[in-house]
């Protein structure tokens, strides 16, 4: 007895919508964005001025530079990560592109 309905594990109606990322993947993505935010905090003021950032994110990065307490600094980095997650892919790609040019040594 072979039933064709059980052979196909994918629902044909679901093919229009892409599968949602797993919780682990979402967490990896959030951590990557937080790491990107940490890279922004480590830039010099001149380098940071070259990066296209929304005003709120720029202010959060500048504030993170002034926080010396470890716990407060970590919370500020988490907040920067939250702001980074609100950006669209184009904005994130633009930030990554500028960071890539800043890290490349010039000859």
For 34-93, the pLDDT digits (tens) are: 999 999 999 999 999 999 999 999 999 999 999 999 999 999 999 999 999 999 999 999
Q: Number of folded domains in the chain?
A: 1
Query: Which of 29, 52, 30, 36 has the alpha carbon at shortest distance from 103?
Result: 36
Quick one: tokens of 75?
A: 């919370």
Please report, for the domain that includes residue 83, its CATH number. Answer: 1.10.60.30
**How high is the pLDDT of residue 50?**
92
Burial (CB < 10 A; 0-12, 13-18, 19+), residue 63, is middle
In a domain, 15, yes or no: no
Q: What is the pLDDT of residue 104?
A: 61
The answer as to whether 16 is a domain residue is no
Pairwise CA distance, residues 34 & 80, whole Å:
7
Residue 97 pLDDT > 80: yes
Asked if residue 7 is part of any domain, the answer here is: no
CB atoms within 10 A of CB 74: 14
Q: What is the pLDDT of residue 20?
A: 87
In a domain, residue 94? The reply is yes
Q: Which domain holds residue 91?
A: 21-102
């Amino acid at each position: 007895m072979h039933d064709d309905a059980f052979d196909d594990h994918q629902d044909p109606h679901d093919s229009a919508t892409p599968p949602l990322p797993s919780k682990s993947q979402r967490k990896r993505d959030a951590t990557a964005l937080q790491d990107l935010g940490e890279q922004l905090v480590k830039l010099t003021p001149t380098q940071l001025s070259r990066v296209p950032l929304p005003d709120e994110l720029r202010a959060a990065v500048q504030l993170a530079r002034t926080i010396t307490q470890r716990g407060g600094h970590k919370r500020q980095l988490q907040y920067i990560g939250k702001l980074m997650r609100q950006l669209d892919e184009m904005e994130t790609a633009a930030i990554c592109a500028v960071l890539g040019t800043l890290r490349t040594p010039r000859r």
